[in-house]
Structure 1
Amino acid sequence: MIELKNIKKSFNGRPILDDINLTINDGEILAIVGPSGAGKTTLLRALAGLGDIDSGEILLDGKPFDPRSSDLKNNVIGVVFQDYNLFPNLTVWENVTLAPKMVLKMTKTALENEIKPILTHLKLAGKEGLYPFELSGGMKQRVAIARALAMKPSVLAYDEPTSALDPSMRTEVSNLLLDLKKDGVTQIVVTHDIELADKIADKIFRVNAIS
């Protein structure tokens, strides 16, 4: 369980997050919704250790937790970015296994045993040798999810997962997130897509722009 208590963040004197209090329970899907500029992505970046906060506290299972100083070997939050951030010169397999090999020091046997089931579960079996330019938008997203899952995070977070997808792919994404929930994966979804949030989320947290 992750708890946020009285989180505040300002940019150039302008408050973006003001006294945010939030609990993310294990195994649930939390959707963070709100207008552009309201701080959704700022909140996600703070949770993932990609940005700092001005004040407040983040707790992990009741204990103080600083995502910025977290040991990558004990990865807590894996992030699937809006533009996927795949390495264009690496294959699907290389994109997914690079971090586990370099950071977690996983052996070739461990990679085969642990990563291949992830690819199969995400319907990427047989695509291991393809490069990002050969993939559809939906497939790139699944590769990005596989890459995040390969680091064994406690929580998987998404920044606007349906923003660049057509309606049919949006349905595929929602089904995928619900399938991961069945596997017990805790997920945070930052989105402006209210329909998606209503369909997948156990809890919806609304952030509003501060005037």
Structure 2
Amino acid sequence: MLELKAISKHFGRRLILDQLDLTVNDGEALAIVGPSGAGKTTLLRCISGLERIDAGQILLDGQTFDPYDNQDKDSVIGVVFQDFQLFPNLNVLDNITLAPILALKQTKDEAERQARALLERLALTGKEELYPYQLSGGQKQRVALARALAMKPKILCYDEPTSALDPDLRQEVEKLILGLKADGMTQIIVTHDLEFAENIADAVKHVDALPESK
């Protein structure tokens, strides 16, 4: 279980998150929704350790957890970014295996076996040697998901996973998230799409933009 207690975050003089509380149960899919500027992505970045919180406490399974300082955070919390952030100079297989080899110390054979299994599961068999520029938006997203899953995270976060997708691919993402939920994966999804959130989430957290300080 992931718990956030009285989390606050500033950028300069602007308060983005103010004493925010949040609980995500194991195996749950939580959607965070709200307007642009409400701090959804900032919250996700704090949870995943890409930003340091200014105040408050994060607990993982009842123990204090600082994702920003955690040396092994990529094996605890995975992130599928809105712009995918695939390495353009690496093919699909290498994009997925790089981190497990470097961070988890897997052998090349072990990492590739795992990557191929993930690609098969995500209907990407045969794409192993392609480069990101050769993939569609939906394919890039699935590769980014495979890369995150290859690190065996306890919690998987998504930043606006449907923002650049057409309706058919949006439904595909829904199926992927629901499939992972059926497997027991804990997931946190930031989205502006309330209908999508209600389709995939066990719980929905609404956040609102804070007034700017004068």
TM superposition score category, shorter chain reference:
over 0.9
Cα distance in 2 between the residues matched to 1:63 and 1:184:
21
Partner of 1:209: 209
Match of 1:21 in 2: 21
How well do the aligned residues superpose, as a CA RMSD in angstroms? 1.1
Verify: 1:99 aligned to 2:99, yes or no. Answer: yes
Offset, 1:110: 1.3
Report the alpha carbon displacement of residue 167 of structure 1 after superposing the two structures with TM. 1.1
Identical positions, percent? 62
The gaps in structure 1 that reach 5 residues or longer are none
Gaps of 5+ in 2: none
Query: How do residues 1-211 of structure 1 correspond to structure 2 at under 5 angstroms?
Result: 1-72=1-72, 75-211=75-211
Letter in 2 for 1:46: C
Q: Is this contact kept in 1: 2:97–2:108, CA < 8 A? A: no
Asked if 1 retains the 8 angstrom alpha-carbon contact of 2:101 and 2:107, the reply is yes
Counterpart of 1:116 in 2: which secondary structure?
helix
**Structure 1 residue 74: Cα displacement:** 6.6
Displacement of 1:109: 2.7
Aligned residues: 211
CA shift, 1:120, in A, is 1.0
Q: Distance in 1 between matches of 2:7 and 2:14?
A: 15
Give yes or no for contact 1:8–1:54 (8 Å, CA) kept in 2: yes
> How far apart are 1:73 and its partner, in Å?
7.0
TM-score by length of 1: 0.97
Q: TM-score, normalised by structure 2?
A: 0.96
CA distance in 1 between partners of 2:187 and 2:82 (Å): 15
- Quote the Cα distance in structure 2 between the aligned partners of 1:111 and 1:9: 37
SS at match of 2:148: helix
- Secondary structure (helix, strand or coil) at the match of 2:27 reads coil
Runs of 4+ in 1 over 6 A off after TM superposition: none
Moved more, 97-106 or 30-39: 97-106
